[in-house]
Chain A
Amino acid sequence: MTDTTVLLPRRSFFAAAGRTTLSAGAVMLLAGCGTRQAAMAADPSADANILNSALGAEQEAIAAYQVGAESGLLSQPVLDLAVQFQGHHKEHADVLAKIVRDLGGQAVEPLASYDFPTDQLKSEADVLRFAAGLEKGAVSAYLGAVPLFAERELAKAAASILGDEAMHWAVLRCALGENPVPVAFVS
């Protein structure tokens, strides 16, 4: 990758990024929602357990973006982008919760409160860096979950979400003026 992407005007970069995200329908299709594929998992309780881990992280991300959106620190178009990313996490969480229930499990509920380092969020860059850290962690978490699923369609769905989180991470890094894609492989 050249540095061309980094040098794009922020507004046009964000507009382009918004056009490349996955639709909820695509994720639902990949996850096999609406079919019995998920319920046919070889070890549904184990798969539900893994999905609940991911669901808990998605719920935290939704709450984190809410903190960022309400912080008063985000300017346009960053604020709109944060709300859009939060919307993606809501879609992920809805899909994950549905699959957990389809597998016969009980979807975890969001925590009553989250202990975010709000005392360290004093600027737009602080909020972006906080969000980027969460997104990077999410990429690693999904990467660590994909090989565990007994049901391959669930692995595919998790990989689809991983791709979305990676896009979030890259855009947030770009907004921070950092190389949006610093490595060839995520870990």
Chain B
Amino acid sequence: MTSGKASLAAAVLLALLAVTAAAAAAPLGDAAPGVAIYERCQACHSLERNRTGPKHCGLLGRPAGGVAGFSYSAALRDSGIVWSKESLERFLEAPLTAVPGTRMGYAGVKDPQERADLIAFLAAAAPCKD
């Protein structure tokens, strides 16, 4: 094998390893067990109503701080985040680390499978009625 081919093979191998590692880091989510995980959020949130925290219907694809009429922290409003599975994965693991200054005083959902299930639940939730 030439050095060029060896380099290419190594690069492909590294890419495959990276994909495998990413897959291992973010397990497939299941919305059904996500229902129970979401109950933890219900001190402050609901799907349909703004409470201490903003409503979660229509969350994926929405800019952080994007629910009209809800008073957000400047930190979250100015974060530039658009909620996706990836950004939720980072935020839900450690909200105060992901967005220092957020008012969400919660340590986070530390278990990767629980996070994936919670995100699957949020993604499957019905869109907002208004």
Contact = CB atoms under 8 A, between A and B. Distances in A.
Interface of A: 46, 49-54, 56-57, 60, 114-117, 133-134, 136-141, 144-148, 187
Contact of B106 (A114, A138, A141): A141
Do most interface residues of chain B lie in helix, strand or loop, or is the interface mixed? loop
Contact of B39 (A114, A116, A137): A137
Contact of A148 (B50, B101, B107): B107
Contact of A145 (B50, B101, B107): B107
A57 to B, nearest CB: 5
A107 to B, nearest CB: 13
B105 A54 contact: yes
Most buried by A among B39, B104, B105: B105
Interface residues of B, number: 19
Residue of A46, A134, A187 contacting most chain B CB atoms (<10 Å): A187
B64 interface: no
B35 interface: no
A139 B40 CA distance: 8
A137 B42 contact: yes
Contact of A53 (B41, B42, B49, B103): B103
B29 interface: no
B108 interface: yes
Given A56-B52, A117-B49, A141 B107 contact: no
Nearest to A50: B105
Contacts of B101: 49
A134 B105 contact: no
Given A53-B104, A115-B49, 13 more contacts: A49-B103, A53-B44, A53-B105, A53-B106, A115-B50, A134-B42, A137-B42, A139-B43, A140-B40, A140-B42, A141-B40, A144-B40, A145-B106
Nearest to A115: B49
Contact of B105 (A51, A114, A139): A51
A137 B51 CA distance: 12
Nearest to B114: A187
A57 B52 contact: yes
Given A49-B105, A53-B106, A141 B39 contact: no
Nearest to A51: B105
Contacts of B52: 53, 56-57, 60
B33 to A, nearest CB: 12
Given A56-B52, A137-B43, A187-B40, A144 B103 contact: no
B82 interface: no
B96 interface: yes
A146 B50 CA distance: 24
